[in-house]
Amino acid sequence: MKLLRADVVSNTDIYQTGSFQVTSNSFTGPKWCIYTSPYGGLHNPYDGQKAGFFAIPSVGQAVLIAQTDDDVGGDNYYLISVIHDMDNRKDGNSITQVAEAGPVPDDLYKLYPGSPQKVILRDAYANRLVLSHSYADKQNREANRAELIGSKGKRLSLDESPMINRVILENEYKDGFYLSSDESPISPDMGKRHMILRTVGMMQHLSQFGIEMVVTEGTEFDLVNESTGINAASGLPFGNVNIRSKYKDVNITTDGDTGRVMIRALGDSSVIQLNSDGQIIIKAPSDSIYIEGNDINIKASNALYLQGNAVSIKANQFIGISSRVMDIKSETPIAVEPNITILEGSVVIPLIRDEAVEGPDAQSPPTVQNDYEE
C-alpha cells in the first residue's frame, strides 16, 4: 500500500457512490478514488439510506490517498484525509479573500490568538458547526459553547460559559429566542431561568387546540402595547390592545377575596364605551354602585324604572319634570316644601308645562368607533 498526494479534478458521480477523480504526479491520468470517513454504519432498513459521515472533497482540493493492490486485481485508491494548505490558484477562480486567507478558518484562533481552541466543521458556503473551548486568565471568563451557524449568520448556540450560560436561537438580525440558566453579571437584562422572545417584525402564536399562559408563583402578568406607530406600515392601526372571541364569551374574572376589575381610560379625550345588542347588566349584590360624571344621561326608548328602599333625588339648583300625565302614589302623606301637601293615596296631577323649570332632555350617547371602524 502506498500513500500519495493528489488533487481532486472532478467529484461528479452519476452512480452516486461517493467516488471522485484525482490526479497525481505519482500516476498517469485521472484515477477514481473511493470516499472513506471515520464513521459509518449499515443501511437503514426504514429509508434504505447509509449511515455515516459524508463530506466529498471539492474540485481543486489537495487530498492524501492510499493506493492498494487488491486480490481481485487492479489498482484501487481510497481517501485518507484532506490536506489543508494555502490556496495558490492563479486562474479566474482566485479572489482577494482566497489570496489573503490561511489554510484554516480565522475563527479557529479567534478566542485566544495563536492558540486553536475551537473545533469547526464547515462547508464551502460557511455553514458550520463550531465547538468552542477557550480558557481565560481569570476565573469564570472562559468560553464553552456549541454553535450551529448558517452562512448568513443565523445561529443556534448552547452556551455553557459561566458569564453567559444560556440557549440562543436567533437570525442574522438578532431577532430570536433566549433562555438563561443562571443570573449573569454581564447580562442584566436576564435573570435566572429567564426566557425572552424578541423580534422587530410580527409575532404570532397559532394553535388548533388551545393557548394557556399561567403565572404560578411570581410577579405580574402584563399585556402592554407601547407602539407609537414608527414601525407600522402607512395606514395601519397601531397602539391598540385587542381581545376578541369570534363565537363565544370574553371572560374577565377575579376570584380573589380582594380582587378588583379596573377599567380605566385616563386620557383627556378618553372614552369607556359598552355596546350590546342584548342586555347590559351591572350587579353589586353586596355593595354599592357609583356612577359619577360631569353630565349623566339616562335614556330608555320604552320605560325607565327606578326602585329602591329609599330613592333620593337632589338638585342644588332645580329639578325639571316634564310629562303629559304624572301619577304619584304613596301610603303616607307626601310633603312638598314650602307649602304644598299631597294627601295620602293616589293622585293624578295634570302637568302644567313651565319652561323655566324644565331640565334638558336626555341625550342618546354618541357611538364611538375604534381603529377598525367597529
Domain regions of the chain by residue span: 2-82, 104-198, 320-359
More reliable by pLDDT, 353 or 182: 182
Whether the pLDDT of residue 307 is over 60: the answer is yes
- pLDDT of 355: 46
- pLDDT of 356: 45
Determine the Cα–Cα distance for residues 257 and 354; give it in Å rounded to an integer: 52
Mean pLDDT check: name the lowest of 36-40, 121-125, 319-323: 319-323
More reliable by pLDDT, 130 or 338: 130
Determine the Cα–Cα distance for residues 174 and 152; give it in Å rounded to an integer: 12
Specify the CATH superfamily of domain 2-82.
Gp5 N-terminal domain (2.40.50.230)
Whether the pLDDT of residue 53 is over 80: the answer is yes
Written as one letter, the residue type at 245 is S
pLDDT-derived band of residue 347, with 50, 70 and 90 as boundaries? low
- pLDDT of 96: 64
> Who contacts 185 (Cβ-Cβ below 8 Å, separation ≥6)?
163
Contact criterion met (CB below 8 Å) for 201 and 185: no
Q: What is the pLDDT of residues 93-136, one digit of tens each?
A: 556 666 667 778 888 888 777 888 889 999 888 999 999 998 87
Q: What is the pLDDT of residues 145-185, one digit of tens each?
A: 999 999 999 999 999 988 889 999 999 999 999 999 988 77
> Who contacts 362 (Cβ-Cβ below 8 Å, separation ≥6)?
297, 298, 299
Cis ω for the linkage preceding 366 (within 30 of 0): no
Whether the pLDDT of residue 340 is over 50: the answer is yes
Q: What is the pLDDT of residues 254-279, one digit of tens each?
A: 999 889 999 999 999 899 989 888 89
- pLDDT of 342: 55
Mean pLDDT check: name the lowest of 18-32, 87-101, 153-167, 205-219: 87-101
> Who contacts 179 (Cβ-Cβ below 8 Å, separation ≥6)?
166, 167, 193, 194, 195, 196
- pLDDT of 352: 45
pLDDT-derived band of residue 354, with 50, 70 and 90 as boundaries? very low
Whether the pLDDT of residue 15 is over 80: the answer is yes
Supply the pTM of this predicted model. Answer: 0.73
- pLDDT of 314: 85
Coil, strand or helix at 96: helix
Mean pLDDT value across the chain: 84
Query: Nearest to residue 78, comparing CAs of 106, 49, 99, 57?
Result: 57
Residue with cell 392601526: 237
- pLDDT of 339: 53
End-to-end CA gap in the chain: 84
Q: What does the pLDDT average to over 67-80?
A: 78
